[in-house]
Amino acid sequence: MKTRAIVHGAVSIVNAIPTGLGAALGIDLTTIVEAELFESNKRELDVEIKLEDEEVEDTVLLEKVVDKLLNIVGEGKAGIHLDIYSNIPIARGLKSSSAVSDAVVLAVSKLLGVRLNLIDAVNLAVDACIEAGVSITGAFDDAVTCMIGGVNITDNYQREILTHWSMDEDLSILISIPEEKKYTRELNVEIFKNIRNLSSRAVTLALNGLIWDAMIINGFIIASALDIDYRPMLAALRKNILACGVSGKGPAIVAVTTPEYEDEVEREFKNFGKTLKAKPNNKIAEVKVLE
């Protein structure tokens, strides 16, 4: 039997690290995971990963997810092969870890006959992210948003969705992607204590529906705290946009605009390197049996 899971990406509205409260918006970048069993006299994970212009050698997160699911079914010996494709750049703050952990949970749980609702699947993925060291809070906001799409504001420590709504899919999202990568394990967590009050104000704005204001404020807060080049933000703010900000821990910069102004924002972003285009995503993740 082979299974396939399709999970979409997300970008930050408010980073959850300073306060434990976070907000994210689903986007239509995609991670696809196919899983199948093979005979083995031990627990064995075989992985093939295809990313656009990226290389991945660390599979600890994938191993954590698979081990947790094998523990649920009480299987000590099993070989699982994963084929992974994603167009989400890694280590840029664009939720690549949340998307792939969600997708592996869905594909492998289906393969093993483990019944999980979407929130159970998210919680398992979050636990794996924490144990693998790819997230500080577990990124419940990101994992939820990758799983169910739309806008989500969450309490990451309580793992509670505070509010959720769908987003206009006609909006245009431009993402400036520097060559530099930022890994969670390299962050100085102490610095986030200094921006807690400002971040709390951004969360309040988001909870009141002012997500674009929240994204801009969060962007400058995170850029200042983590010494991220915010020139793409300044360039975007001179154009016709709804919002812009730093996604996750960066260094990716995101701008949200309408289709008629997409090209002018893209031209600005191209002065700083690679640029991706996306649309908001409201779709729930999919999983099915292929054969």
Predicted local distance difference test score (pLDDT) of residue 92: 84
Q: What is the mean pLDDT of the chain?
A: 92
Other beta carbons less than 10 A from residue 140's beta carbon: 29
3-state DSSP assignment of residue 76 = coil
Please choose, from the candidates 93, 122, 161, 139, the residue with its C-alpha nearest in 3D space to the C-alpha of residue 5: 122
- Written out in words, the top-level CATH class of the domain with range 2-166+281-289 is alpha beta
Predicted local distance difference test score (pLDDT) of residue 193: 84
Domain extents for the chain?
Answer: 2-166+281-289, 172-278
pLDDT digits 0-9 by tens, 131-180: 988 877 779 999 999 999 999 999 999 999 999 999 999 999 999 998 77
Please choose, from the candidates 54, 84, 13, the residue with its C-alpha nearest in 3D space to the C-alpha of residue 181: 54
The residues, ordered by sequence, that sit 6+ positions from 120 with a Cβ below 8 Å of its Cβ are: none
Owner of token pair 């703010």? 237
Predicted local distance difference test score (pLDDT) of residue 186: 61
Predicted local distance difference test score (pLDDT) of residue 187: 63
Which regions of the chain are under pLDDT 50? none
- CATH number for the region 172-278 comes to 3.30.70.890
pLDDT digits 0-9 by tens, 218-236: 999 999 999 899 899 999 9
Can you list the positions of beta strands (E) in 39-159? 43-51, 78-86, 151-155
| Residues 14, 215: Cα–Cα separation, whole Å | 6
Predicted local distance difference test score (pLDDT) of residue 54: 61
Predicted local distance difference test score (pLDDT) of residue 55: 60
User: With 0-12 CB in 10 A as exposed, 13-18 as middle and 19+ as buried, what is 59?
Assistant: middle
| DSSP H or E stretch at residue 253 | strand 253-257
- pTM strictly above 0.85: yes
